[in-house]
Amino acid sequence: MTCDGAIRCASAVLSSSLDSASRHAKGPHEQGPRITRPRPRHSATPSGGMSSAASRPRGARAPPPSGYDRQVSTLIKQVRVFDGVDVLDADCVLVQGDRIVKLGRDLSAPAGCVVVDGAGGMLLPGFIDAHVHTPDQGTRDEGISALRQALQLGVTTMLCMGCRYPDFVAHLKALQQPDLADLRSAGIAASVEGSHPTQLFDYYPTLNGVEDVAPFVHTRVSEGSDYLKIVIEDSSVIGKSTPFLPPEVSAAVTAKAHSHGLLVVAHAQSRRFVAQAIESGVDGLAHQYVDQPLTPEFARFLKSAGVFVVMTLAVYHSHEGVELANDPRVRPHIDSRWMDILCSSVGGQEQFQEYGLAAVRPLRDAGVPILAGSDANNPGTTYGASLHHELDLLVRGGLTRTEALTAATAAPAKHFRLPDRGRIAPGLRADLILVEGDPTVDIDATKSIARVWRSGVAGRGAAPAAGGDVLIQRALDVGVSIPP
pLDDT grade for 476, boundaries at 50, 70 and 90: very low
Domain boundaries, the chain: 22-64+125-423
Instruction: Check pLDDT > 90 for residue 271.
Output: yes
Q: Which residues contact 67 (CB under 8 A, 6 or more apart)?
A: 177, 178, 457
Q: What is the pLDDT of residue 480?
A: 40
Tell me the chain's radius of gyration from C-alpha atoms.
21
- pLDDT class of 34 with cuts at 50, 70, 90: very low
Among 9-13, 96-100, 298-302, the least confident range: 9-13
User: What are the residues facing 75 on neighbouring strands?
Assistant: 94, 115
Reported confidence tier of residue 469, pLDDT bands at 50, 70, 90: low
Strands (DSSP E) found in 172-263: 182-185, 228-231
Q: How far apart are CA 350 and CA 8, in angstroms?
A: 9
Residues 177-236 have pLDDT tens digits of: 999 999 999 999 998 876 677 666 766 788 889 999 999 999 999 999 999 999 998 776
Please work out, in degrees rounded to the nearest 5, the angle formed at the alpha carbon of residue 187 by the alpha carbons of 233 and 46. 155
What sign for the dihedral angle of Cα 343, 346, 350, 353?
Answer: negative
Per-residue CA distances from 179 to 122, 147, 375 (Å): 21, 8, 22
Give CA torsion, residues 8, 318, 357, 440, to 10 deg. 170
Looking at CATH, the fold of the domain delimited by 22-64+125-423 is given as TIM Barrel (3.20.20)
Which residue(s) pair with 452 in the sheet?
Answer: 433
- How confident is the model over 447-453, as a mean pLDDT? 97
What is the identity of the amino acid at 445? A
**Whole-number average pLDDT of the chain:** 83
In order of 19, 128, 267, 360, 484, the CA distances from 372 in angstroms are: 30, 8, 15, 11, 16
Q: Which residues of 122-140 are buried (b: 16+ CB within 10 A; e: fewer)?
A: bbbbbbbbbbbbbbbbbee
**CA gap 270, 329 in Å, rounded:** 37
Which residue from 358, 343, 137, 159 is spatially nearest to 263, judged by alpha carbons? 159
Contact by Cβ (8 Å): 381, 9: no
Handedness of CA 409, 413, 414, 416 (dihedral sign): positive
Question: Interior CA angle at 268 toward 262 and 269, to 5°?
Answer: 150
- Provide the pLDDT for residue 205: 80
Q: 293 by DSSP, 3-state: which?
A: coil
User: Beta 432-435 vs 449-454: how paired, if at all?
Assistant: antiparallel
Q: pTM for the full model? A: 0.83
Helix (H) / strand (E) containing 100: strand 99-104
Query: In the chain, pLDDT over 70 holds for what percent of residues?
Result: 77
DSSP letter for 112, please: T
Conformation bin of residue 468: beta by default, left when phi > 0, alpha when psi is -120 to 50: left
CA distance 183 to 161: 11
Sequence letter at residue 171: H
The mean per-residue pLDDT over the stretch 281-308 comes to: 96
| In contact, 358 and 351? CB cutoff 8 Å | no
Categorise residue 398: left if φ over 0, alpha if ψ from -120 to 50, beta otherwise: left
**How does pLDDT run across 96-145, given as a tens digit for each residue?**
999 999 999 999 999 999 999 999 999 999 999 999 999 877 788 999 99
Beta strands in 339-379 (DSSP E): 344-345, 370-371
